[in-house]
Amino acid sequence: MLNDIERTLFHEQTILRRLDELATQITADYLGRDLTVIAVLNGSLFFMADLLRRIQLPLRLDSISVSSYHGGRQSAGVVTFEQASLPDVTARHVLIIDDILDTGLTLRAIRDRLLNEANPASIRICVLLRKEKPRAHELEADYVGFDIGNEFVVGYGLDFDERYRNLPFIGVLKPEVFSAPSPST
Ligand code: XMP
């Protein structure tokens, strides 16, 4: 796996130091409120686990599974919810946690569905990474780990073709990896 990485963007220690800051901010912002975290699977798993263990508040944890990418680097443009029902967040303050804000399609679909169907007291969005680019789907993140350029990244939960999620850092793949046949085919 390491041979496929062209360069590292954020080392594990850099990520964890930033999570300390984010967690401090979130803890202060939600003090005294009924917080429900909704993690968007699978990309946010590592981020969520490391961030939540730093938040010093009682909270409920739920998850939601959607797909907008189908293996490669291009979004399919349609968000499919994998489960029929939404988490029960009536009157609760919801913090949605996702790995990356790219076009905004996925998070906007999740936020709008929760707002329209689940009666939360509030909804905020927390992402580890935000791509700096004009966004086709208008959406602001309330908490952002790092801003990055408009390039495809892997590691720390982020995958290419379901690989590289378990790298402890975030990096950019060598261009030839994208054109190589997948090991599973
Ligand atoms: P949108 O475009 O809906 O994308 O904001 C959100 C989802 O797309 C995936 N995504 C990426 N995954 N490296 C990845 O491994 C990337 O650079 C990347 N950009 C978008 C991701 O699942 C995210 O939740």
Give 28 Cα–ligand 1 centroid separation in angstroms: 28
Residues 6+ apart with CB under 8 A from 162: 71
Q: Considering only CA atoms, which residue is closest to atom 18 of ligand 1?
A: 152
Q: Is 112 a catalytic residue?
A: no
pLDDT at res. 70: 55
Contact (CB, 8 A) for 92 and 32: no
Q: What is the mean pLDDT of the chain?
A: 93
Band of pLDDT at residue 180, cut at 50, 70 and 90: confident
pLDDT at res. 44: 97
Q: What is the pLDDT of residues 62-105, one digit of tens each?
A: 999 998 765 567 666 788 999 888 999 999 999 999 999 999 99
Residue found under tokens 């912002």: 29
pLDDT at res. 69: 61
Where in the chain does DSSP place strands (E)?
5-10, 35-41, 59-69, 75-81, 93-101, 122-131, 143-148, 153-154, 170-173
Give 31 Cα–ligand 1 centroid separation in angstroms: 30
pLDDT at res. 64: 96
Q: Is the pLDDT of residue 48 over 80?
A: yes
Q: Which numbered atom of ligand 1 lies nearest the CA of 102?
A: 5
Q: What domains lie within the chain, and their CATH numbers?
A: 12-149 (3.40.50.2020)
Question: What residue type is assigned to position 162 of the chain?
Answer: E
Question: 63, 100, 138, 150: which to mutate for ligand 1, most atoms within 8 A of CB?
Answer: 100
pLDDT at res. 184: 58
Q: Considering only CA atoms, which residue is closest to atom 12 of ligand 1?
A: 158
